[in-house]
Chain A
Amino acid sequence: MLQKIGIKLIVAVALTALVTIGVFSYFQTRNQKEAMIEIVKHNGTQLSEIIKMSLHDDMLLNQRKHIYKLINRIGNAGEGCIKKIRIFNKAGEVIYSSDSVDIGTKVDLKDENCYLCHAANKPLEKVPASDRTRIFKSESGSERLLGIINPIYNEPSCYNSACHTHPKSKKVLGVLDVTFCLKLADQAIQKNQFTNLVLAIVSILAFSLLIGLFVKKWIDKPVKKLVEATNRVAIGELNQPIDYESKDELGILARSFNNMMKKLAEMRVQLFQSDKMASLGRLAAGVAHEINNPLTGVLTYSSFLLKRAKDNPELQKDLEVIVRETKRSREIVKGLLDFARQSTPKKNKIDITEVIQNSLSVISNQLKIHKIKLEKEIDADLPQITGDANQIQQVLLNLIVNAIDAMGDNGGTLKIKSEKISLIPYGVKQIKRATCPKGHNLMDDEHKIDGMPSIKLLAKSGKNEGFVHLDPIYGRHQHHYGIQLKENEILKLYCPVCGVSLIDEEEKGPHCGAPVYKILIPNQGTLVGCTKYQCSWQKWDYIDSKGQQDYVKIQISDTGHGIKEEYLNKIFEPFFSTKGQKGTGLGLAIVWGIIDNHNGKISVESKVGKGTTFTIQLPVNELT
């Protein structure tokens, strides 16, 4: 559970929130508490001052009774929150108190309440108000109390009065000590603390919950999809792309993953095909080899016997049958061997139109039987191609027979179309020589891409420097970067030999507007490409205009039942058949192999219930 990235993120975020909100709440609570106490102290001091002022005249006149009364009255006011009012004389003796029990008792001047002023031998006369307050627990310990000591200073009216109790030299005559309860303030503080705590907890929870939701939506779900997709890839399912559309990094990852799966699927088909064809070839070759030896025994002895049986016509006739049939077996085995061994078709210049006509004449009877209409759209002036006429005919016959089967007995239309097309060699043509403007060779035989020497360039990006190996196939983008690059970074490219810049700042690539690099192809113009990292734009005018590759395109369409989409990428696999016992599942695999060996391409389009179209492209001149 804790291993999950979502949970980890939530825990991390919650911890962060806990610390920040906790610290914030702590100081907030403390400040509020201090402010509250400050207010209470201030109020207390003022009250103490008021009491002192009220008693001033009575003390001067020594009206003791009056003083007792006043102190008692004030002590009972304030809803019982004024706990005690006491007046001490210099010796620490209580002379007045709202609690009559205290009168006459004496406090120790060493007591900590007194210590602040009486620490030194001579007591301090002036002490700031804040230092004269103290907070302490009541004797029962249930509530906090605030004590305020207010010194009563000597003044002219005191030492000039008739009683002459106080000498002039005394500065402080005694202290007024008022004790309040802090009940209200403490209640407010507690309430504050509670509110802050609740708020903190609620915000931490809300924070984590929100983060959790986003994590689930933005990370958990796509990651889960990615994991499911990798698992599908692991069991070989490559045709289910990840359904996650987003522009964030995970979206990019999903798209690259889909792209990878597509490429992987294509490669797997190719590999599977080659592999199957190769094992089929080995099997057939093995069978042919093994059968040819015993056949040699039969053929040599029978033909030898035939030679010696010239005077026995009856025997001769029988032997002729053996020899003839053995020779027939020989042809069958030879056919099997040739059939499996398609790696080298017997190529000649062939007229594709003639091959099409031959195929159609072979199959015309079948078309009539199945009431199939034939539509021909054949370009009679097609150029000759290099190929094996028998193999191409085999391909066409196979596709036509498939089309007939797909249409069944209900009839339909078979359409055969042929034409010449020209394709730009973009993505096909190999760059074999390349130089910098000073004529230094840029081809690197050591570093090969897809088995072909690459184009080596020196690349600089900020302070980094490294080599970039460009894909030698014009328009393909399998470059190897030997330097760390950021997305959309614009590269600076130099000749690795002389260091001359290959960038043309004045010309911009049409896709991203970045400057272009220019590489000279001896006698074949200039290769221009975009310098932006991951931009695949390239242009080679010389080849685009001159080196257009001519292809003969043949399309065979039927109006049959069509092929289900999930089968489309499987039909060229060996042993894949939808015909049950009727087919071997090898027909289209062999078709694929033949076209592949002719450096051609075959593709299929199909709609269930509408029909299927196979398209073959064969190069007129073999690519060099």
Chain B
Amino acid sequence: MVDKKTYDLLIIDDEQVIIDAIARIAGGEGFTVDSSLSAINALKQIENVNYKLIITDIMMPEMDGFQFLEELEKRRISVPVILTTGFSTVEMAVKSLLKGAIGYIPKPFTAEEILSVIYRGMEYRRIEKELKNNLFGKKNSSIIYVPCPPKYYRLGHNSWINIDNEGLVFVGATDLYLKTIKSLKKIELMKFEENIMQGSVCAKFETEESLIHHLLAPLSGMIVEPNYKLIDEPLLIEKDPYFRGWLYRILPSNLEAELKNLSSCSSDRI
């Protein structure tokens, strides 16, 4: 059996300029890049080639990004996917994460922004692989990441919410998300009384490699209290992401409707 050829990245977009731009930037960082102008072709390519990460446009003729995701799931192909679109609305962001994409990046993006997402995707892939190996008992089992506690809700594998007794909601980043960031250096938070919106950026995480990762808010609402401790001690979020490492306490504005876009952490465990 001949080993399949392996690429780091598969870029799917119906516009060549996007493929070229990402390939140029990723190539500059030493990643090997393959591309496809349509999702249908990409599915054929996947049969013969291994990819570590896929970046795909959403709005494409014949098969769009969401259908592509579903197709991958059907075929039990577990390659992490990052979605991108020029129709950059918050709904697109929310839907992308809900459908299982590990990241979402609106067009147009800068070189830094796309690189941050690619690095995070690669890290995600590494963790997933490690997890698989653990399952097959190849390594001594050690907890690789902590899943979010029951009764919490999460937006994709990015952020979580926890509704407290007073009707306020705690918002934070999941452990898996933080693990994909690797070396966290600084957290940039929004201010008291500012509004966050489901699917839009609510916090920026800067790493030692000076990559900036954007965290998408799981819920809309007004910030009642940012977790100021994180400014002085950013690593608190890595130590205790679900309790002491929360980001904001917010007053939700549309809890009932937006809850539909979140996944329940309780059901993750069944």
Contacts and interface: CB of A to CB of B under 8 A. Distances in A.
B25 interface: yes
Interface string A307-341: 11000000000000001001100100010011001
Given A297-B21, A347-B220, A307 B107 contact: no
Contact of B87 (A289, A307, A386): A289
A303 B87 contact: no
A297 B110 contact: no
B25 A304 contact: yes
Contact of A294 (B17, B88, B89): B17
Interface in B192-240: 195, 197, 220-222
Given A285-B87, A296-B17, A298-B108, A348 B22 contact: no
A295 interface: yes
A303 B112 CA distance: 8
Contact of A304 (B89, B111, B197): B111
Interface in B1-29: 15, 17-18, 20-22, 24-25, 28
Contact of B88 (A292, A306, A386): A292
B114 interface: yes
A308 B89 CA distance: 31
A288 B86 contact: yes
Contacts of A341: 89
Interface string A333-364: 01001100100101111000000000000000
B87 A304 contact: no
A291 B86 CA distance: 8
B22 A300 contact: yes
Contact of A303 (B107, B110, B220, B222): B110
A69 to B, nearest CB: 134
A300 B87 contact: no
B87 A348 contact: no
Interface residues of A, number: 35
Contacts of A304: 21, 24-25, 28, 111
Contact of A295 (B107, B114, B220): B107
Contacts, number: 95
Nearest to A301: B21
B176 interface: no
B28 to A, nearest CB: 7
A326 B106 CA distance: 14
Contact of B86 (A289, A301, A386): A289
A290 B108 contact: no
Nearest to B221: A348
B110 A299 contact: yes
Contacts of A142: none
B88 A334 contact: yes
B108 A346 contact: no
B83 interface: no
Most B CB within 10 A of own CB, among A285, A292, A341:
A292
Nearest to B222: A348
Given A289-B86, A337-B89, A300 B253 contact: no
Contacts of A169: none
B86 A348 contact: no
A373 B92 CA distance: 46
Nearest to B17: A297
B188 to A, nearest CB: 17
B59 A307 contact: no
Interface residues of B, number: 33
A304 B26 CA distance: 10
B125 to A, nearest CB: 22
B244 to A, nearest CB: 27
A157 interface: no
A327 B106 CA distance: 12
A292 B220 contact: no
Nearest to B21: A300
Contacts of A464: none
A298 B107 CA distance: 11
A581 interface: no
Contacts of B91: 344
B108 A299 contact: yes
A484 interface: no
A187 interface: no
A289 B108 CA distance: 10
A308 to B, nearest CB: 8
Contacts of A326: 108
A330 B108 contact: yes
Contacts of B86: 288-293, 296
Contact of B110 (A323, A349, A386): A323
B251 interface: yes
B253 A386 contact: yes
Interface string B82-123: 000111111100000000000000111111101000000000
A347 B15 contact: no
B254 interface: yes
B32 to A, nearest CB: 18
A349 B222 contact: yes
Contacts of B253: 347-349, 386
A349 B89 CA distance: 22
Contact of A299 (B85, B109, B251): B109
Contacts of B251: 348-349
Contacts of B89: 337-338, 341
10 contacts: A285-B87, A288-B87, A293-B107, A293-B108, A299-B110, A304-B25, A334-B88, A338-B89, A346-B90, A347-B254
Closest 5 CB pairs of A and B: A292-B86, A300-B21, A303-B110, A296-B108, A295-B108
